[in-house]
Structure 1
Amino acid sequence: MRKPTGLTARALAARAGWSESKASRIENGKTPPSDQDLLAYVTICGVPQDYEDLRATAHGIDEMYVEWKRLQRAGLKRGQEAHVPLYARTNRFRIYEPGVIPGLLQTADYATAIMNRIVTFRQIPDDVEAAVKVRMLRQRYLHDAHRHFGIVLEESALRSRFGGPEVMAAQLGHLLQIAVLPNVSLGVIPMATERIMWPVEGFWIYDYSQVIVELATAQVTVKQPSEIETYARMFAELVKLACHGQPARALIAEAIAVLG
């Protein structure tokens, strides 16, 4: 931010009333800046509109990028429990998943199949049974009429098999039941759809407070307002691609039929 202005660190520090060493420590990440420090910095650099994003970054830096090997070193239960307070304070969920049924909509058998594979692949302690119980308990929020769930799945999420045909049939049948809940909007993007928005990694938007993205190696938490807005726009474009109501349920029924 400073370099395009032509200011040196010494000049910026003088304008802010800081020592030169303080400016250097902030810029090199050695001293966490206060909110007042950040406001002074962006004001002097002529970009006050960046304050909220910078503030959100500073406040959320410890959870911004958390590697699975750190989060799951003791197993999967801890991660499931960590999201309970977030679910409790969220009223509007927007969820996009390209390849799996989201945890909020999973049956116990489907969740068990996926978690067993995670435990094997990542070579972590096996606490799948306990983790599944926590995931199932979190689903109580689906039946709270004061909360709203916008969910968009790629058709490939319906076709990707976990746990065998019987587990998949039960999972897809459960999805049909969830789809008719009055506080749930379930959309499915057909594979043959002409794309106006490319498939991306799965993401969850919690109100307008944060976005969680699951990568292969880490969980990413986004709290910068401008980035949350980008995910919200992306979700809106994906909603336009999805079919809802009876056409969506027909795609789910077709996925059940091909299981034989």
Structure 2
Amino acid sequence: MTSSVPWQERLSAGTEAVQDEVIRWYQKTPEGQAYVPTMIWGTLQTEAYATVILGQVVDFLGVPDDVRAGVAKRLQRQQVLYDGEHHYDVVFGEQALYTNIGGPEVMREQMDRILRDIDLPSLTLGIIPATARVDMPPVHAFNLHGDEAHVELVSSGPNVTEPSELDLYRKAFSRLSDAALYGEAAEELLQKARTFWGGARRG
């Protein structure tokens, strides 16, 4: 079964309420998986990066502007990385390190944040190099928590609970993980991106 409510409806009162939903979702599921091909996973975003992202959401969808409150909740959700009770397997596309969110200063700070947290016991982070061969077609971002997959689309964020569909998402995550680099190799990609943003000009 797949259920979906349009983003404009879900965010009709602003971003804070949806962030509260995500906090509850994370707190009740101690283990999760996430594939994020073109941006930084929300649970690793800095305050500056999250502010730009939620500002773009508000502007694009035309929903009430409560960005400061939404960002505060997004940062609150990140406590699952430090409470000793959760673990997340996360795979980025290398493009996520280069998608310009907020300019060089924001991106440098974001790379530093990931480099600081990459060795957390609660996190297994892989990065798929831009030129890596992946044994499946390109797909959208998604999160797996328990018996549910959350999919990030332009107009909505469907939740998938049909077992046969969930099996496909798990299969997809396994193949994406197989193409990713971990440990020192992932850190090298992050350092490369950090160097790039360190030399980039504002603009």
TM-score, normalized by length of structure 1? 0.74
Aligned ranges for residues 244-259 of structure 1 at < 5 Å?
Answer: 244-259=182-197
CA contact (8 A) 2:134 2:175 kept: no
CA contact (8 A) 2:134 2:176 kept: no
Matched, 1:171 2:171: no
CA contact (8 A) 1:98 1:199 kept: no
Residue of 218, 224, 228 corresponding to 2:162 = 224
Partner of 1:119: 58
3-state SS, counterpart of residue 197 of structure 1: coil
3-state SS, counterpart of residue 231 of structure 1: helix
Matched, 1:201 2:140: yes
Partner of 1:130: 69
Q: Which moved more, 1:172-181 or 1:142-151?
A: 142-151
Q: Structure 1 stretches of 5 or more lacking a match?
A: 1-56
Q: Which has the larger radius of gyration?
A: 1
Root mean square deviation of aligned Cα: 1.1
Q: CA deviation at 1:70?
A: 0.5
In 1, distance between residues paired with 2:173 and 2:114? 20
Q: CA deviation at 1:213?
A: 0.4
Residue of 84, 89, 96 corresponding to 1:157 = 96
Letter in 1 for 2:73: V
CA displacement, residues 192-212 of structure 1 (integer Å, 9 cap, x when unaligned): 1122123211000002x2010
3-state SS, counterpart of residue 187 of structure 2: helix
CA displacement, residues 100-151 of structure 1 (integer Å, 9 cap, x when unaligned): 1011010010000111111111111110000000000000001132311100
Partner of 1:100: 39
Q: Choose between structure 1 and 2 for higher RCO, CA contacts under 8 A separated by at least 6 residues.
A: 2
TM-score, normalized by length of structure 2? 0.94
Structure 1 runs of 4+ with >6 Å offset: none
- Residues matched between the structures, number: 198
CA contact (8 A) 2:126 2:180 kept: yes
Partner of 2:179: 241
Q: Identity, % of aligned pairs?
A: 35
